Structure 1
């Protein structure tokens, strides 16, 4: 076996005839140790590759105890096996990871911002830089400079050097992994960057295709900078175009007028909400006056399509008009039933006890104390039964 794995010797290899040397199980997950592998194990901010081994899915690849474990969807026997790489996933990771190297180099050389962390996410990537703040102008300059280096089609190469040679190289690095011994792998972007890295990279910057900065957030005294590269940038643009097409149809406006058109719709909606709230207040006053005028001590009403806030407002107005009364109010809203049992200051109704009884009859969850009890029920099918219980209990 070559001491340098196939994924490092040729990151563009997609198939490999290899051998399963040993199998095992870790926390219920079967794994295989191979003679050689084209699948990259998670590390350095780059996720693990996926693929197929002897027709069985490789669901994860990790370095454990000095060996590379290929975790499998099902156990596999020892012996010769064909290994296939999920190339689309790998190439995406190569675009994002190489884009990070270039972005890091330009941020350092153009602005003096060092990179302290890198994360290759499923949809968006980010680096953490030492910039305490980053303006939109800074981002524009950074992005354009990266774009010029992508267009320059700069060659990318990797080599291993001894620790002694490493000390003589002009390496841009966040340091070696703890406990590292032996040769050190360097990845170079010609004329731009030389860095320590064990990951997989492209042949030249042109294969990055494009890199788009998405935004920033403050973190640990520095700045987290979000980006996408390569096919991810095209997919993101496609998603934006699809979304804009839907918005154009809904708002009847071209792209450049979507925001003003949406703002107009929001303003209209807010004005409508204000009118609805005023109408609800007027309705509550009318209903409250009618309920307060009834002769019985416990009055009831059902408000279709209203929320708990409306029921509470209605109850307050009834009990303010006649503190000797109690109210049982219900509503159906959002596919569920609402109920409120409330009593005025001089009402003798035992609200806590009766409230629990009503909740039980309605199959509701609720609570309260003193003079008010409210809850939510799957439906109000037992409303009449609950009202009859209240009446029989002195309400």
Structure 2
């Protein structure tokens, strides 16, 4: 069965009936971590919310006032995941997130157009495609696509858009002679019933389950951003269609305007200005490293000149690095002393080095690492790593001072 969204991709509301409602769960990603949400899987008599398929992501919308968080395909049905239960047999109003839907229509129809033109001009077959959040990608079965070929594909695509060519959806049966004439990467193994054809008049006829524009003019424009080496001797073509092109232009203009303000040069000179800045930064970084090494040596000489050195040498330097700490440890020596060195932000993240007698470092290195909420490892009398809570440095130093008040004998 074709869903209402496939019969009319421009519908934004649909009054329909709840067929079933059963408890379910959905894994969502929040802050880089996956969380399980408990809710309900709703099946409707019909829907305007497209389930994920054919390279196109699923729609978002509402069932009455309840947000639909995911739409998936289960056989010939669409399953809507929501947080609230609905009674079977009840009438509900389904509304769509039109902004998301129309974007998907523009990208999907844009893909069909580019795919057809790449094939007709150069015989480049499309083997897969991906509709991403920022841009979309078409995988072409060719090892290379030249700049001239990419420009030709883009120019012809935009010419077809200007020609106001209709895009029609029709259905044919598997035994129809036309079945073998339309473009396809193959039907799903479990497919039964009629086949849906998306026809760009005079340009392309392709089997597809997705939602599409009714006329190429709705694509507005297509921009091929780049091509890159893909898997298995293939090429990935990166593109934007419709509103995404306008958004990218607006974003790039803001970036260009900001760079002009910071660099004090016109857009044509930005690359040259940034190149000069990079060279200056590299020179400054090199000078800074030299100064840090010199500073490390001076710190060691100052320490060695003291008559009462103690058994624990503790130092924090915000601008230091790993090499800075190792120079100090190498110059001072750690046979009968304990060194606790840290670099980085005093309140957040940084690096640390604990050096001293091997048996002591092996025992207390992990403890210091735990206090500072870090990860590290050690051997041969040194334990070092990265930490997230440099604000607890004082706590770690206090523990070390108590334990190693008399190096070699003191313990807890």
Superposition misfits of 4+ residues, deviation over 6 angstroms: none
Please tell me whether the aligned partners of residues 72 and 78 of structure 2 are also in contact (alpha carbons under 8 angstroms): yes
Partner of 1:127: 138
Shift of 1:142: 1.7
TM-score (normalizing by structure 2): 0.83
TM-superposed CA distance for 1:385, in Å, is: 6.3
User: Secondary structure of the equivalent of 2:176?
Assistant: helix
Q: Distance in 2 between matches of 1:360 and 1:277?
A: 30
Name the counterpart of 2:254.
242
Task: Select 2:315's aligned residue among 302, 310, 328.
Answer: 302
**Alignment of structure 1 residues 314-353 onto 2, 5 Å:** 314-319=328-333, 326=337, 328-335=339-346, 340-342=353-355, 350-353=357-360
1:16 paired to 2:45: no
1:41 aligns with 2:51: yes
Shift of residue 65, structure 1, vs aligned partner: 3.5
Mean CA deviation greater in 50-59 or 328-337: 328-337
SS at match of 2:69: strand
Q: Is the 8 A contact 1:48 1:62 kept in 2?
A: yes
Task: Tell me how far apart the structure 2 counterparts of residues 360 and 330 of structure 1 sit (CA, whole Å).
Answer: 15
SS where residue 404 of structure 2 aligns?
A: helix
Q: Say which of 66, 71, 75 aligns to 2:81.
A: 71
Aligned pair count reads 384
| Map of 1:6 onto structure 2 | 4
Change (3 A) 1:340 1:276: same
| Distance of 2:408 and 2:78 partners within structure 1 | 77
Q: Check conservation: 1:163, 1:182, Cα contact below 8 A.
A: yes
Q: Give the alignment's Cα RMSD to 1 decimal.
A: 2.8
- 2:34 is matched with which residue? none
Partner of 1:59: 69
SS in structure 2 at match of 1:352: helix
Given that 2:342 and 2:353 are in contact with CA atoms closer than 8 Å, whether structure 1 keeps it comes out as no
Could you tell me which runs of 5 or more consecutive residues in structure 1 were left unpaired when the two chains were aligned. Answer: 344-349
- Taking a change above 3 Å as real, the CA distance of residues 316 and 201 of structure 1, as seen in their structure-2 partners, is same
Q: Please tell me whether Structure 1 or Structure 2 has the larger radius of gyration of its CA atoms.
A: 1
Q: Describe the shift of the 1:107–1:390 C-alpha distance in structure 2 as closer, same or farther (beyond 3 A).
A: same
Q: What is the TM-score with the length of structure 1 in the denominator?
A: 0.87
Residue by residue over 1:299-340, the C-alpha shift from the partner in whole angstroms, topping out at 9 and shown as x without a partner, is 736353223321211221334xxx976462534522257654
Where structure 2 has 5 or more consecutive residues not aligned to the other structure, the ranges are: 26-37
Distance 1:354 1:89 in 2: 57
How far apart in 2 are the matches of 1:373 and 1:260? 44
Provide, for residues 191-250 of structure 1, a one-character-per-residue CA deviation record: whole Å limited to 9, x for no partner: 111111121111111111111112223212211222121111111222222222222222
DSSP-derived class of the 1:259 partner: helix
Within a 5 Å distance, the mapping from 1:192-203 to structure 2 comes to: 192-203=203-214
